[in-house]
Structure 1
Amino acid sequence: MVQGEFLWHWVRVLGRLKHKVISWPEEEYNHSGRTILLTVDGIDFRTYERSTDDYNVDRKQYSHKFHHGALKYEIGVDAFLPKIVWIHGPWRAGMHDRAIFAEGGGLREKIPEGKVVICDRVYKDSKYKDNDELMLPCVGDSSGLFTFKSRLRSRHESLNGRLKDYRILFDTYHHNPDNHVYAFEAVAVLVQYAMDHGHPIFEANTVPPE
């Protein structure tokens, strides 16, 4: 029953709960015997297209997924639990997913040595030769490993779909661009609470193949 700045106040309050429900399990990831930790993916959300002094649209804001202006966030989802463990952004949609992953202070620096994350082929970038932390789709995978990695990526897409069940992230965003991150964090908190209380995403497998 509120609107304007009063509404955004409560959106920000909800988003601040992310520190309670979305956290990096450092102890588990550093000291467990798990090699595969999580899946990572970039997700774009349509926004109105900003113009520049030279062009009628900002090409760095342009999303090739939508052919439209957008903002991008990086999301990490635990490989074995229905748990968002990492959110990072927003970024302008023209920024490459692999560049965001490699950004200083970002996800790549948090991955312990010898551990890996599952990702899709967009993370294969010739500018980044070192891919030790990333497990991309590979034609040389065994049937079991191929299926396991594929299901992990599919369950991550399922999580992305849940975020876009909320109209603020599904429709083209026309509000103050500085507020988009508050809407995203609030929705991420709601989705995580739903997974914690009876609506988890499906499991990829109980144990990864050898």
Structure 2
Amino acid sequence: MPVIEWENRFHRALRGSNILVSIDGVDFRIMEPSPFNPKWYSHKFHGPGLRYELAICIRTGDIVWAYGGLPCGEWSDLRLARDVFIFGLREGEKAIADRGYNDPNFLISLTETMMGRKNRF
């Protein structure tokens, strides 16, 4: 059975590369807790859910990070990353992410990079 290992992000890494993983939040539907509380609301499917964060090695496709199971409405993708993920990065290392992760110190928006606006790597 495969195990999620953070250090696996270095498998087949290009020498000198400081971008090894992509990261994103994933929401999972749950039954509506009672009483109603907006902290569970997921904008991704307009109902209650739990949010998890996954990071995938961009060279191998292996899942190297999983964190979460937290209320969607209270935990944005960026808040999840700032809670634990960024502390696992080495100095100068960054992750590729979507625009929901607005922190150029640790995360690079692939959309903006491809459009030539900023964060060239």
- TM-score if structure 1 supplies the norm length? 0.49
Shift of 1:28: 3.1
* Equivalent residue number for residue 135 of structure 1: 108
- 2:10 aligned counterpart, secondary structure: helix
* Equivalent residue number for residue 80 of structure 1: 59
Structure whose residues are more often strand by fraction:
2
Q: Structure 1: any 5+ residue segments left out of the alignment? A: 1-16, 125-129, 146-209
The aligned length equals 113
* Equivalent residue number for residue 113 of structure 1: 91
Seen in structure 2, the aligned counterparts of structure 1 residues 27 and 59 have a Cα distance that, compared at 3 Å, is: closer
Aligned partners of 2:56 and 2:62 also within 8 Å: yes
Partners of 1:27 and 1:70 in 2: CA distance = 28
Structure whose residues are more often helix by fraction:
1
Seen in structure 2, the aligned counterparts of structure 1 residues 27 and 97 have a Cα distance that, compared at 3 Å, is: closer
| 1:22 to 2:1 alignment | no
Partners of 1:65 and 1:27 in 2: CA distance = 28
**In terms of Rg, which structure is larger?**
1
Let me know the Cα RMSD of the aligned residues.
2.3
Give the letter for the 2:33 counterpart.
R
Partners of 1:25 and 1:73 in 2: CA distance = 19
- 1:87 aligned counterpart, secondary structure: strand
| 1:59 to 2:32 alignment | no
Shift of 1:141: 4.9
Q: Given the alignment, which residue of 97, 122, 125 partners 2:77?
A: 97
Seen in structure 2, the aligned counterparts of structure 1 residues 68 and 34 have a Cα distance that, compared at 3 Å, is: same
Partners of 1:28 and 1:38 in 2: CA distance = 9
- 1:21 aligned counterpart, secondary structure: coil
Percent of aligned pairs sharing the same letter: 34
Shift of 1:131: 2.5
- TM-score if structure 2 supplies the norm length? 0.82
Give the letter for the 2:23 counterpart.
V
